[in-house]
Structure 1
């Protein structure tokens, strides 16, 4: 752990020692993590930390940073330590009740925005909303877009509601505790979802930052990773939703596209993330097959 007896005081010395500690426990991004955590303590942007290397930390700042590094050495995600995570154009509050929003999920937002622009103004239902990052990013980027976020976790919905209030979006974002969208009228709505899609047998192979800290219920997609997605698609089959967009795991785009076609959707499209993986599957109802209300 952090050797308190040394008590380095300059930003440069503290930074070097913290990077070394994180490197020793297998952290793959020690310099970045230290810059973020130091930035939090010093009230600086991570990039600005490098410009303040000769500054000295106060005893209070040293103590705060010491506690942050102790948590990171235990593989606690940086976002849980700082309490926030940047996503698209917003910052959202996060804690261990919700997944940390991932960069690849920003693609889900973009595809949803593109479809919303295409089909015209309609309600967006964000299934498995968690922190509310997806739905709130959508509302922030389209001033007339209304979103309904659903989740089975009350604690996650509390976080989402806090984020909506913090972002001044309570007038266009609401949340409901339900499985999928059970009991909710979604005729003419666009459904977007980042649901658990990791096969149960692969959960134990996840990095400790995820395995030991993030909520398993938000990760575990059952035997083939598609149990929860399949359940929501089954609900969609009996709905009048105008379209659906799902984030998926590796090698899941084709089977999810087939599920959507079997549920009465057409015009399916597959979208790739920056790493080249098929990450998002989108589908619309055939023209004339829905009645907008």
Structure 2
């Protein structure tokens, strides 16, 4: 009998070819196969039998399938988001937008929130979980993503405060919001991405023309009318786009400041009137 400890060691060795965190990946997959949290698996009997599903999960990861798609979940801010192919996997970098919003609004929070390009609902639902008095609208052009967002709102008990609808950025929206959140595509069209991203996540949520600025060019003229007096927009950027993207929003008449992520890289533009 192969023990869980031996299976984890063998999987770690295999996964080193496709992952920068092979041991962590192996542990997460083992826990998923067992139907428990990773912490519970680690304090459990590592000399116990290996769950039958584990080998297939490792094979999926060897094909570069992201861990979040395999397990069907990803932690973001204070919530767990259900994720699947068809929507972008939420990343810790995007939490910078929520940090910026908390710094601006404090515990009182915004009343109305707009999330442009909501994907599986990560930013909007994290904000609604942060501020129980708020309601929000999530917009996306992908029906698959909106299905995931709607399901996540139900799972998190936020469906009564979250509305989702298909749309093209701010077009057709005639309301101004206290907080606008937006993580648009910003990767250059010829950029080389890891296989985990390029082969699995939706290209429409990643790429934005030769310089990665195409969607900022569309968003900039729309943003002033979407921000209510006293409100802000928090827009994610690539680490080298603060100047170029910021100039587009300044040209639209907005004040622009930059917030860094937890690794001290520019990650968020804060826009205000």
Same fold (TM over 0.5): yes
- Cα distance in 1 for residues equivalent to 2:140 and 2:19: 32
Alignment of 1:1-293 (within 5 A): 9-23=2-16, 25-57=17-49, 61-62=51-52, 64-117=53-106, 121-202=110-191, 205-239=192-226, 241=228, 242-266=231-255, 268-285=256-273
- Where 2:9 maps in the other structure, the secondary structure is helix
- Cα distance in 2 for residues equivalent to 1:121 and 1:101: 22
| Aligned-pair CA distance for 1:147 | 1.4
| Aligned-pair CA distance for 1:269 | 1.5
Distance change (3 Å), C-alpha of 1:142 and 1:119: closer
Q: How far does the alpha carbon of each residue in 1:180-237 deviate from its partner, in whole angstroms, 9 at most, with x for none? A: 02111222442110010011121xx111100111111100011111101220112124
- Cα distance in 2 for residues equivalent to 1:275 and 1:127: 25
| Residues 116 and 190, structure 1, Cα contact 8 Å, conserved in 2 | no
- Where 1:26 maps in the other structure, the secondary structure is coil
| Aligned-pair CA distance for 1:53 | 4.7
- Cα distance in 1 for residues equivalent to 2:122 and 2:227: 25
- Where 2:92 maps in the other structure, the secondary structure is coil
- Where 2:190 maps in the other structure, the secondary structure is helix
- Where 1:196 maps in the other structure, the secondary structure is coil
Tell me, which stretches of 5 or more residues in structure 2 are unaligned? none
- Cα distance in 2 for residues equivalent to 1:245 and 1:260: 12
TM-score, reference length from structure 1: 0.87
Tell me, which stretches of 5 or more residues in structure 1 are unaligned? 1-7, 286-293
| Residues 197 and 221, structure 1, Cα contact 8 Å, conserved in 2 | yes
TM-score, reference length from structure 2: 0.93
Q: Name the structure where strand makes up a greater proportion of residues.
A: 2
| Residues 102 and 109, structure 2, Cα contact 8 Å, conserved in 1 | no
Structure 1 or 2, whichever has the larger Rg, is 1
- Where 1:92 maps in the other structure, the secondary structure is strand
Q: How many residue pairs align between the two structures?
A: 271
| Residues 10 and 53, structure 1, Cα contact 8 Å, conserved in 2 | no
- Where 1:200 maps in the other structure, the secondary structure is coil
| Aligned-pair CA distance for 1:123 | 1.2
